[in-house]
Structure 1
Amino acid sequence: MVKKGLAALGSALIFLAVAAAAPAAPFSIEKPGEAVLEGEVRVFLGDRELSWEISPSFSRDGHFLVPVRDLGRALGAEVSWDEKTQRVLVTSSQATVGFQIGSSEAIVDGEKVTLPSPAILKNGRAMVPLRFLTQVLGLAVNWDDRTQTATLVAPPERVYREAFPARVAFTANNNLWLLDGSQAGAQPVQVTKGGSVQILGWSPDGLWLAYLQRETPEPGESKPYLWVVKYDGSSAVQVDPRPVIGEPQWSPRDNILAYSTQDPGLDYIPDCNLKLATVAEEGVQVKPLLDQGLPIEDWAWAPDGQSLAISFRRTAEEPWRIDRLNLRGERTNLIKGMGTGNPIGEVYFSHPVGLKWSPNGRYLAYYLRYNAASLSADGVPLEVLDVENPQKPLNLGIGLPYRRWSAWSPDGNKLAFIEGSGRQATYNKRLLVVTLPEGDITSYGQPGTVDSQPTWLPGPQEDLLFCRGTAATVGDKGYPEAGMSYRRIWRATGDGKAAPLTDGLPDEADWYPSSSLDGLELYFLRLKGSTAGSLYRQPLTGGWPEELVRNITGSSGYYGSYYPPNVSIYPLPPTGEAEGRSFAGRLVESLVEGRHLELETEDYGILVVIPASPEVAAALEGYVGQEVVIEGTLEHKPNIYMRGPLLRVLAVKPRP
């Protein structure tokens, strides 16, 4: 049935229209006086352009019209024509819609509504407004004024109705949507309407999502503003009135965002600052951390959340450098480059980007950009700084400076990264893993394939997930079609071997792998077109994938990189595991990365024990070496130990 307010569809801002196609034989009459203007608008259903028996047209009052039979076939609707009454009836699973030629009224599921433009006949075919009919039939219309194209897209839909342990953020039709999978039957919640968004990621506790909002569908045509929204879609808040520059970063321990701002005008004028925004139920509190007129290029939180690495550009007086900045605003240098000045005609390293700390806090990975943007787009050196031995960073070769194309292992002693030059993400890219401090490198690359998006499985195991597809160049296919070349999710093991985890049709591509909290299930996005697809879940041990959410859409990224991601997963404890759940095992002392306690369990492996209060900490110390039962919650966020998930302890008692 049609919801209240359906009549408001007639006043849609973009006056597009769809024509209802009549039977194959032409109508016997054409309404006189309804002259139309031929249109150059192209209409797409997802990635597929629709074709018409007769050309779509604009009416004199500016509404776009196309034939109903063609549209009905494309959308799976039935169309019938009553020549005697000059009525067209469109029937689908979403609604039943009746039009009469020459009338500005339509009947939708028995209710009268007003059309933005009357239904007409053209060359024996019935025509009605596009946006009106597609919205009634459950689709949205995205209009691109620059290319004069209308794209019909279905709204996101939850397919798997049972609960699953994850919160999901994704984009569809340039808007942000959220879904709490732990609530059975809960539907996706639309957060933004209009413009475009970029997902930044979840807060450490999974209660908040950070994202960038732009006023225009094309990201390059407007500046980004930083927003946060609660996991259920409520309490969306703009963090700062000024647009941001760079990529805001969550603290690994607290709900604090580090970000920098810029002038809202058309020119690139950075504010040369670094701010901290504390996000809470009561609101967002912002304070400056660094405001000394220094152009900060990039930043990354240390794993303890007590400091950040910040990078600076080479200037006439100073070489490029990376400093450590604590939360009091005090800086100490970590590394400096060679050379100063900006000599014309010379190529030199300008500044570090893509900073990423290892979970144990010993290593810092970064890319070194050149002073030439085009040269940097084809790949830059990736280096690793050992803060315990900072004299000579380890050079790992050339790669594209995407922050999510490198990933530290949970223990912080291995870095997985994508190596290979060329701005095209669809060839000459392979997965490598370096073991530190030795610097030994294992290559997982295979001839004729291309790799991307490495991510480690949680816990002490040495396995990681990544995307692999058939290599393709622009000469083979255009973009983004090259990114569809039989791409699957693979699993690499510590012995240097790799095997595919997912399988599908040749025209499907799997992206954005992530795992459940216990490391037993895989989440991934399966594209059935170059930019549209569904979120799936599949056991890591094998099995048939389950479709969770469909009609997720996004961009193929720069030269087929599919970056930044348009899906972000925050894994929750397995369904039914909430505050107060019991975890049984042996409580032991560990000296790895500093003294702490761990719970050795049969079901979850090693859990890193974090007391919720000083009283709980004292109680835990009394049970070291014993079998215990712990009441608490599992958390999945980076920490300096990362031998397993964090177990925040509320109470402990002897095991019966």
Structure 2
Amino acid sequence: MRSKILILLIVVFITIPVSVNAAEPKAAFIRSDGLWLKKGTKETRLVSESGLTQPKWSFDGTYISYYDFEGKLWAYSLSTHDKKEVFHSSVSLAQWSPREKTIAFKDSSILNIRKLEPYSPFSNAALGTGSYSWTPDGQGFIVSSDANLTPAGWTNVAIFHVPMDASGNTGKVKKLAELPGESDDFFAIGTSPFLFSVNKNLMAFIACPTASYSADRNFLSLLTTEGKKFRVVGEVLADINWMKWSTDGNFIAFIEGEGRLTTENKKLTIFSTTDNKKKSYTPAGYADGDFTWTSKTSIVVSRKKESGWNIAQEKRPKPQLVSVDLMTGGSRNITSQSSQYSDTHPVSLKDNQLFWERHQQSGIHVWQADSNGSSQKIWIENVTPEQWSIYQTN
């Protein structure tokens, strides 16, 4: 009798569905009428207001920051269901701490921070800030200064470490490096934010020249975290979303190629930090764009046939998603090429879910599939382009 009961329990246990794979995704997104939350299949409007942009999650998924139509920074609490004003006037480069419910932002060239729990007054972290990023431990910032034009030419861009409690005290600031001066091979008056490798040994960033040059040519650069070694690995457009570290930290993928036109001379390239070699994975006659790592050896990229200025924009081939095998160099289609829609901005989650943005006549929608492209379906309808953010744990 006992053996029969035991067998029955085993059968019941095996047949009960266990949700160990795909977790229920949640996304903050913008429509013309406000800030929305999508969780699983349910949509909720959080803020009813037009002109909102750039939703971003706090590290623990309890807050969503966004800008209003005037450029003011706000944070919406999912626990109290209210919004808090982070700063009273227009700001830029808002970034959440990777460890606390604290948000940093730039007011002109002043780097400020504000703790939301407990809700505290904002404080200055550093003056003279060009760009910045939090350090991975959340205890400070990597900050770049912008170059200045003098009668003798441009000064050099400098990079600093600023502890979170610096409060404008320059004695606590450490200069890490100074970028090279202007030459035929390099010119920078500022940088993008900084992306740390998984092992935290390297920082990747885009060194940007003046605006007229930057529209066509910028420099993807690597700097060791202590500031000792600097190198340029490729020429790129000034799009920080077009560079991403691999999950093991030894490779950085980026879209290489100068020229402001995104439909030609744009190659998916991998740079190895172990042997300082790089390799392009874009076949001749094609141009690559937005991409996401789906594993240590594969990338999903938005790819289209090359076209130049001689072809009207509305007649240029539309991009599709393809999966690139970095071991073999081969690729396979995730979505089909079509004249009716464009597939861009792929995002891969750790549980093998893939999301992307599809532009078509009926509107702009976020699609969802398994990372291999199976089970494709619309997840969010009618979003503002590039104004959606899926929550992911650090």
TM-score normalised by length of structure 2: 0.83
1:451 aligns with 2:288: yes
Amino acid at match of 1:313: D
8 Å CA contact retained: 2:59, 2:101: yes
SS at match of 2:194: strand
8 Å CA contact retained: 1:405, 1:454: yes
Equivalent of 1:494, from 313, 326, 336? 326
Q: Percentage identity across aligned positions?
A: 24
In structure 1, the gaps of 5 or more residues are 1-162, 216-223, 262-269, 341-346, 555-564, 572-635, 638-656
8 Å CA contact retained: 2:177, 2:227: no
1:463 aligns with 2:298: yes
Cα deviation, residue 383, structure 1: 1.0
Which aligned pairs between 1:325-474 and structure 2 lie closer than 5 A?
A: 325-329=162-166, 330-339=172-181, 348-370=187-209, 372-387=210-225, 390-391=228-229, 393-457=230-294, 461-474=296-309
8 Å CA contact retained: 2:319, 2:337: no
Distance across 2 between alignment mates of 1:549 and 1:348: 42
Residue aligning to 1:552: 383
Residue aligning to 1:193: 49
Cα deviation, residue 236, structure 1: 1.9
8 Å CA contact retained: 2:162, 2:173: yes
8 Å CA contact retained: 2:55, 2:387: no
Residue aligning to 1:211: 66
Amino acid at match of 1:539: D
Amino acid at match of 2:216: D
Distance across 1 between alignment mates of 2:90 and 2:102: 18
1:167 aligns with 2:26: yes
1:509 aligns with 2:349: no
Equivalent of 1:255, from 81, 95, 101? 101
Residue aligning to 1:90: none
8 Å CA contact retained: 1:354, 1:402: no
Residue aligning to 2:131: 298
Cα deviation, residue 242, structure 1: 2.2
Distance across 2 between alignment mates of 1:492 and 1:283: 46
Cα deviation digits, residues 130-178 of structure 1 (max 9, x gap):
xxxxxxxxxxxxxxxxxxxxxxxxxxxxxxxxx9711112222374322
In structure 2, the gaps of 5 or more residues are 1-21, 167-171
1:229 aligns with 2:76: yes
Cα deviation, residue 354, structure 1: 3.6
Distance across 1 between alignment mates of 2:23 and 2:43: 13
Distance across 2 between alignment mates of 1:405 and 1:339: 25
Equivalent of 2:391, from 563, 570, 576? 570
Amino acid at match of 2:323: R
SS at match of 1:236: strand
Segment drifting more, 305-314 vs 316-325: 316-325
8 Å CA contact retained: 1:302, 1:361: no
Relative distance call for 1:176 and 1:428 in structure 2 (3 A) is farther
Amino acid at match of 1:390: K
Residue aligning to 1:624: none
8 Å CA contact retained: 2:196, 2:204: yes
Residue aligning to 1:621: none
Relative distance call for 1:434 and 1:469 in structure 2 (3 A) is same
Cα deviation, residue 432, structure 1: 0.6
Cα deviation digits, residues 38-83 of structure 1 (max 9, x gap):
xxxxxxxxxxxxxxxxxxxxxxxxxxxxxxxxxxxxxxxxxxxxxx
For this pair of structures, how many residues does the alignment match? 360
Query: Please, what is the CA RMSD of the aligned residues?
Result: 2.7
8 Å CA contact retained: 1:229, 1:237: yes
Cα deviation, residue 299, structure 1: 0.3
SS at match of 2:213: helix
Residue aligning to 1:286: 122
SS at match of 2:137: coil
SS at match of 2:350: coil
Amino acid at match of 2:297: E
Cα deviation, residue 435, structure 1: 1.1
Residue aligning to 1:242: 89
SS at match of 1:404: helix
Amino acid at match of 1:171: I
Distance across 1 between alignment mates of 2:273 and 2:311: 38
Cα deviation digits, residues 213-232 of structure 1 (max 9, x gap):
224xxxxxxxx211112348
Cα deviation, residue 321, structure 1: 0.7
Distance across 1 between alignment mates of 2:223 and 2:67: 30
Amino acid at match of 1:211: Y
8 Å CA contact retained: 1:303, 1:360: no
SS at match of 1:374: helix
Relative distance call for 1:425 and 1:516 in structure 2 (3 A) is same
Relative distance call for 1:386 and 1:475 in structure 2 (3 A) is same
8 Å CA contact retained: 1:204, 1:254: yes
Distance across 1 between alignment mates of 2:120 and 2:359: 36
Equivalent of 1:539, from 364, 370, 389? 370
TM-score normalised by length of structure 1: 0.51
